[in-house]
A = this chain, B = another copy of it.
Amino acid sequence: MTSKEPEEIEYKPFTTGELLSRMKDAAMLMVDLSYAALMLKDKELANEVLELGKEIDTLNYHLQTTVMLATRDAEDAKASQSILKIAALTNRISDYAENIVDMVLRDEEVHSTFLEGLKIMDEPIALLQVTENSTILRKSLKELKIRTKIGVSILAIKRGLEWILNPDKNESFYPGDILIARGGSTGIEKLRELVNPKT
């Protein structure tokens, strides 16, 4: 788990709005996953939350670059500072999610009676890795109709170092992909069979 140095980050031409949207989506997903990790005492999920935190750092780096490149005069600079402020606030939301998962990783005890009624219980979150013999390989979300057919939402796909948040309908699956899925336990079991079939 080495953190990316800015030098290693390739500059990608996104708009600041796109980068900010992705930062916000990632931060919101981190908060959701941090609560789920807490409920399930799931260290693997907790570690994915930290990985998403690194993704936000990368997005923030791109955002700062894009904003600086777009700043031509003193008037621009004023607007630039506002956008950087929003990015910083979004970044801090992700810091709080990281604080929550730190509790999980340090085995800080949260008595289960205190967590009774926590709504995330109804819809478990699962991490599933796509294997080479999976039946969903190279099929798109649109074809698979995972949400309508088995009632599971794919919140994110982690492909190597890349995160695909709120994947769109044309996204398809490759061996090694880690899916972050939310749904009823029956649905999650069905998805597990598709993603990682027992031979």
Residues of A within 8 A of B (CB): 14-18, 20-21, 24-25, 27-28, 31-32, 35, 38, 67, 70, 76, 78-80, 82-83, 85-86, 89-90, 92-93, 96, 99-100, 103, 108-111, 113-121
Given contacts A85-B103, A117-B16, A120-B21, contact A78 B31 (CB under 8 A): no
Complex Cα distance, B94 from A96, in Å, reads 11
Instruction: Across the interface, name the chain B residue whose C-beta is closest to A83.
Output: B114
Judge whether B82 and A108 touch: CB under 8 Å: yes
Question: Could you say how many copies of this chain the assembly holds?
Answer: 2
7 pairs, A vs B, C-beta closer than 8 Å? A15-B117, A17-B121, A18-B117, A24-B31, A28-B28, A79-B109, A85-B103
Q: Pick the contact of A78 from B76, B109, B120 — CB < 8 Å?
A: B109
Instruction: Across the interface, name the chain B residue whose C-beta is closest to A118.
Output: B17
Instruction: Across the interface, name the chain B residue whose C-beta is closest to A91.
Output: B96
Instruction: Across the interface, name the chain B residue whose C-beta is closest to A19.
Output: B117
Chain B residues closer than 8 Å to A14, beta-carbon distance: 117
Complex Cα distance, B89 from A117, in Å, reads 19
